[in-house]
Structure 1
Amino acid sequence: MSTPTAQLSAAGVSIWLDDLSRTRITSGNLAELIESRNIVGVTTNPTIFANAITNPDDTSYDGQVAELAGRGASAEEAIFEATTQDVRDALDIFRPVWEATSHVDGRVSIEVSPDLAHDTDGTIAQAKELWAKVDRPNLLVKIPATKAGLPAITAAIAAGISVNVTLIFSLERYGEVMDAYLTGLEQAKAAGIDLSSIHSVASFFVSRVDTETDARLNAIGTDEALALRSKAGLANARLAYELYEQVFAGDRAAALLAAGANAQRPLWASTGVKDPALPDTLYVTGLVAANVVNTMPEKTLEATFDHAVVTGDTITGGYEGARAVFAGLEAVGIDFVDVTQVLEDEGVAKFIDSWHDLLAQVAEGLEAQR
């Protein structure tokens, strides 16, 4: 009897783990999850690395920190060395998956510094630096979908760098992200770069949309408002998939796909349930369709493996229902444009805070070794 994670994979969902640490790599846990949980990729962010590197029970970084301290490395240089090593080692573990999936999966993401979220040129420079430093074809460089990030996405794709676009909350911004990707492909094609070597995912955040929207619905407090709770996240993601279908069926994308390019797959991020009253696999089983990625924290992965009920495609038949949710939100006074802008601002701020916490703790660790 196949497991729920195997059923999810068979339905077209690539399962990626939203976590990475050196201990997970060296203990064999990551390889075991590939084998037993159908994991075909990993995503990272500054918060994940902060949790790993500063975990007092994890001594796997101590030797490298001591060596870097002896070299007089700064905290930023030390983080760069440690995280790129972890990502490179994880990519090597995923190399057979990358080969078996025709280079679609077997991917690991590493993010540019959150301090660069509003710095186009700085983002482009660091994307190129990370791509060269890690030096693995199955890498994805993570760039946020801020206004400053959009031209950086185009430039990275144009240079042949595969990109994970992160922190997407609104359909409008998602459309801009796909446009940035296609523009980058057009520039890469003009430069003679092999388009088939360039891959990208667009990370559309889900549960955070419900957290922010539900707080506003609770404040409104009417029966009509309360009936809409925990519906915006799935509705928003389903309409994002509809937009993906429309864009990549269009003439512009078709010309690039015919030249060997790959479609930019939607990736469902923030799929751990924040409200304990909700089913713990809600943002997994409710977002099943072909050619998507679902990146899950381990708790959600284990819940999915244990008891998720996978019923096939739960997206493409739900577009009208999703539009009805948004009509209802507008009717009760929810300004969804404001919701998504607040979420983007908060997302960037949280990653910056995690990054600065990590810098401070690594600086302290380096100083203790000197």
Structure 2
Amino acid sequence: MSTPTKNLSDAGVSIWLDDLSRSRIITGNLADLIATRNVVGVTTNPTIFAGAIGSGSDSYAGQIGDLARSGATVDDAIFTLTTDDVRAASDIFRPVYDATGGVDGRVSIEVSPDLAHDTEATVAQAKELWATVDRPNALIKIPATLAGLPAITEVIGAGISVNVTLIFSLERYAEVIDAYLAGLEKAKEAGIDLSGIHSVASFFVSRVDTEVDKRLSAIGTPEAEALKSKAGVANARLAYELFEGEFATPRVAALREAGANVQRPLWASTGVKDPALPDTLYVTELVAAGTVNTMPEKTLEATFDHGVVTGDTITGNYDDAHAVFAALAGVGVDFADVTQVLEDEGVEKFIASWHELKDTVAQALAGPAAAASAV
């Protein structure tokens, strides 16, 4: 049966769910989304795990009790809980991974956001996460901060597959691509099979509109108002234009000859923030072959219910996207400042969620531990 999510998949877009919890795993919900919604991967982040573990779900209670009785620290408990979830989800997606030759069936787990500005610590934790999850279809998420760029090269160079997250600007995206290619070159020199290394570059969409539209409202002219809700899609379309150019170079051709994979663009932050906008906007307007769209469940269900997929909506719209940015500059929007603010806020929000998660787990550990000591 043809459905909008199947049509999206047929258009070359890999649908990944931007959520994971133990209840999704043990109830069969995740397997059901694979079967009925064409979901072929999962992304996680500190906010998602904070919500899952802090929701009061009984699905974590038994393990938290065991960890408390074993004397686990908060950091050790979080590491165990999250890597266990990602390992279990990776096993559920393993048939997809095998069927797609390793392209899909991917489950992402992020290094601690506290390490976003520490290259060496990011590399160390990425390697530890990869070894602990111990599944070939895992992806280690590393933020595209300035400190994250050399970490990406080092981790890719060690043969580890990476999801580069928190990309907002074309300039930073170009640096991410270079970091990926440098990592592949490093892996090749080390004799690592390049065909086993995969990567996606997560370009955030809705947050761009949120920040730009706030600035357009402050400007307040009719010209500014007319540009609202256009920057996010235009920015992503120009990212795809950059992707097409950067992965058509002799440097890439040499790596592809050695078995390397391209780093696919991934559209993240695709839940619509403005209720006045179509709830499938960042899905139907960003369709192109070889991309990933990672969706919150609400966006996934909206797409399945009423998304209209008309084929490629990116490659024929580059001129329009460039015109949007020329107009934004014309009314006084400093887009370089927009993207720096978004990167800084993105890291800060993940750090806040991470510490919320630590507080939640600390309280959960204290309960069983206190009960055990009273016996």
In which range does the TM-score fall when normalised by the shorter chain? over 0.9
TM-score (norm 1): 0.99
Opposite residue 8 of structure 2, the aligned amino acid is L
- Does structure 1 residue 28 correspond to structure 2 residue 44? no
Opposite residue 316 of structure 1, the aligned amino acid is T
- 1:153 deviates by 0.2
Residue aligning to 2:160: 161
Residue aligning to 1:12: 12
Residue aligning to 2:195: 196
- 1:141 deviates by 0.1
- How does 1:264-303 map onto structure 2 within 5 Å? 264-303=263-302
- How does 1:85-104 map onto structure 2 within 5 Å? 85-104=84-103
Residue aligning to 2:224: 225
User: Residues of 2 paired with 1:101 and 1:367: CA distance?
Assistant: 44
User: Percent of aligned pairs with the same residue?
Assistant: 75
User: Residues of 1 paired with 2:288 and 2:363: CA distance?
Assistant: 46
- 1:368 deviates by 1.4
- How does 1:201-280 map onto structure 2 within 5 Å? 201-280=200-279
Opposite residue 43 of structure 1, the aligned amino acid is T
User: Residues of 1 paired with 2:146 and 2:67: CA distance?
Assistant: 35
Opposite residue 164 of structure 1, the aligned amino acid is N
Opposite residue 303 of structure 1, the aligned amino acid is A
Q: Secondary structure at the match of 2:59?
A: coil
Opposite residue 3 of structure 1, the aligned amino acid is T
Residue aligning to 2:372: none
Residue aligning to 2:175: 176
- 1:367 deviates by 1.1
Q: How many correspondences in the alignment?
A: 369
Residue aligning to 1:54: 54
- Does structure 1 residue 80 correspond to structure 2 residue 74? no
User: Residues of 1 paired with 2:368 and 2:175: CA distance?
Assistant: 46
User: Residues of 2 paired with 1:367 and 1:280: CA distance?
Assistant: 41
CA deviation profile, 1:318-338 (whole Å, cap 9, x unmatched)? 100000000000000000000
- Does structure 1 residue 348 correspond to structure 2 residue 347? yes
User: Residues of 1 paired with 2:264 and 2:199: CA distance?
Assistant: 7
User: Residues of 1 paired with 2:276 and 2:54: CA distance?
Assistant: 31
Opposite residue 31 of structure 2, the aligned amino acid is A
- 1:365 deviates by 1.1
Q: Secondary structure at the match of 1:102?
A: coil
Identify unmatched segments of 5+ residues in structure 2: 370-375
Residue aligning to 2:132: 133
Opposite residue 91 of structure 2, the aligned amino acid is D
User: Residues of 2 paired with 1:131 and 1:102: CA distance?
Assistant: 19
Opposite residue 154 of structure 2, the aligned amino acid is A
- 1:369 deviates by 1.2
- 1:41 deviates by 0.0
Residue aligning to 1:339: 338
Residue aligning to 2:373: none
- Does structure 1 residue 64 correspond to structure 2 residue 72? no
**CA RMSD, aligned part only?**
0.4
User: Residues of 1 paired with 2:140 and 2:294: CA distance?
Assistant: 16
Q: Secondary structure at the match of 1:203?
A: strand
User: Residues of 2 paired with 1:24 and 1:357: CA distance?
Assistant: 22
Q: Secondary structure at the match of 2:288?
A: coil
- 1:180 deviates by 0.1
- 1:168 deviates by 0.1
Residue aligning to 2:45: 45
- 1:16 deviates by 0.1
Q: Secondary structure at the match of 1:108?
A: strand
Q: Secondary structure at the match of 1:60?
A: helix
Q: Secondary structure at the match of 1:97?
A: helix
User: Residues of 1 paired with 2:251 and 2:243: CA distance?
Assistant: 13
CA deviation profile, 1:212-233 (whole Å, cap 9, x unmatched)? 0000001101000000000000
Identify unmatched segments of 5+ residues in structure 1: none
User: Residues of 2 paired with 1:240 and 1:257: CA distance?
Assistant: 21
- 1:80 deviates by 0.3
Residue aligning to 1:152: 151
- 1:282 deviates by 0.2
- 1:364 deviates by 1.2
- Over 4 Å off, 4+ runs: none
CA deviation profile, 1:58-92 (whole Å, cap 9, x unmatched)? 10000000000011111110010000000000000
Opposite residue 87 of structure 1, the aligned amino acid is V
- 1:361 deviates by 1.2
